[in-house]
Amino acid sequence: MNRTLEDLVGRIERTTALDPVADRLAGLVSKRLSASTSLRNVLSGTAGGHPLHPMLVVVPIGSWLGASYLDLTGGKAGQAAATNLVGLGIASAVPAALAGANDWADTRLAERRVGFVHAVGNQVGLVLYTGSWFARRRQRHALGVALAAAGGLMLGVTGWLGGHLSYARGVGVDTTAFDRASEEWTDVLAEADLVDEQPTLVYDGKLPVLLVRTGGQLYAIADRCTHRGGPLHEGPFSDGCIVCPWHGSKFRVSDGQVLAGPATRGQRAYEVRTRYGSIQLRHTEEVGSLRRDPIS
């Protein structure tokens, strides 16, 4: 089964014929959502620190699974409750789909293709559950159960595709999660080479770091945007904040905090000092075991 699903997703990832439709749709979604920063922040989950979509999908999935459980075990007494659960799943699928569309619009190429098929399959599932709800309301319970079962099967496949995007492709994961910053003071630039108010790219080993001096203070944060990896030093800088050039997330350079989405995670902020005309940085925060020791 795993092999079959892997073959399926591999084929989807290589199907460039999906691009014209998927790209056009993603462009429309981006255009609509970029009109409202606050809506974008809400749908991204910026305030909560994690993407919103995975949190919202548990409501329709749970409701629909609950309905199927009642279909199997509840008999006639469970029919009304099962109908209500199907209805709750339909209503809660709408915000979940909006949050997913928001995330999907920032993907590219193979990820966008898989996300597109994931979304289309979910819409088919939603239509099947909507048909199930109407059938149940019209006392055609057997048809309602059958449509719900078909919807559940469809969602099983599309859910797997969603899992592939998150766990195999890392969509929605902090792109710096496995970076290992230097814990020792490291020279990165001669003090004289840094221009005030100008974000400058330096390196902590192989990790790109944005270094800036503003208001007489030195700040350094990870340069790779936690959202999808955009190079922050290429974005506009003003009032102590940098804006990602790819999708417009805004970060405060003094502590890396995210002030506007779609990013949900802040940037790693380094300690910075000068010694003998050289700018040095380090990052000593306690972090997870995979980042500290990814080999063993």
Residue numbers at the binding site for ligand FES (CB under 6 A): 106, 225, 227-230, 244, 246-249, 262-263
Element (H, E) at 251: strand 250-252
3-state DSSP assignment of residue 74: coil
* Residues 61 and 160 sit within 8 Å (Cβ to Cβ): no
Q: Give φ, ψ of 238 to 5 degrees.
A: -160, 155
Smallest gap, in angstroms, from Cβ of residue 264 to ligand FES? 10
What b-and-e string marks burial along 1-16, b requiring 16 or more CB atoms within 10 Å of the CB? eeeeeeebbeebbeee
**Beta carbon nearer to ligand FES, 109 or 195:** 109
215 CB-contact burial (10 Å; exposed 0-12 / middle 13-18 / buried 19+)? exposed
DSSP 199: -
Smallest gap, in angstroms, from Cβ of residue 214 to ligand FES? 20
Smallest gap, in angstroms, from Cβ of residue 231 to ligand FES? 9
Q: State how far the Cα of 180 lies from the Cα of 292, in Å rounded to an integer.
A: 6
**Beta carbon nearer to ligand FES, 112 or 247:** 247
Smallest gap, in angstroms, from Cβ of residue 44 to ligand FES? 9
Note if the bond before 51 is cis, omega within 30 degrees: no
**Beta carbon nearer to ligand FES, 66 or 248:** 248
Smallest gap, in angstroms, from Cβ of residue 98 to ligand FES? 18
* Residues 135 and 128 sit within 8 Å (Cβ to Cβ): no
Token pair in block for residue 26:
């993603």
Element (H, E) at 201: strand 200-204
**Beta carbon nearer to ligand FES, 89 or 235:** 235
How far does CA 42 lie from the centroid of its chain? 13
Smallest gap, in angstroms, from Cβ of residue 266 to ligand FES? 12
Identity of the residue numbered 31 = K
**Beta carbon nearer to ligand FES, 225 or 272:** 225
**Beta carbon nearer to ligand FES, 148 or 258:** 258
**Beta carbon nearer to ligand FES, 85 or 263:** 263
Smallest gap, in angstroms, from Cβ of residue 185 to ligand FES? 28
Closest by CA position to 236, among listed 216, 253, 219, 218? 253
Smallest gap, in angstroms, from Cβ of residue 26 to ligand FES? 13
Token pair in block for residue 254:
């003094």
**Beta carbon nearer to ligand FES, 189 or 263:** 263
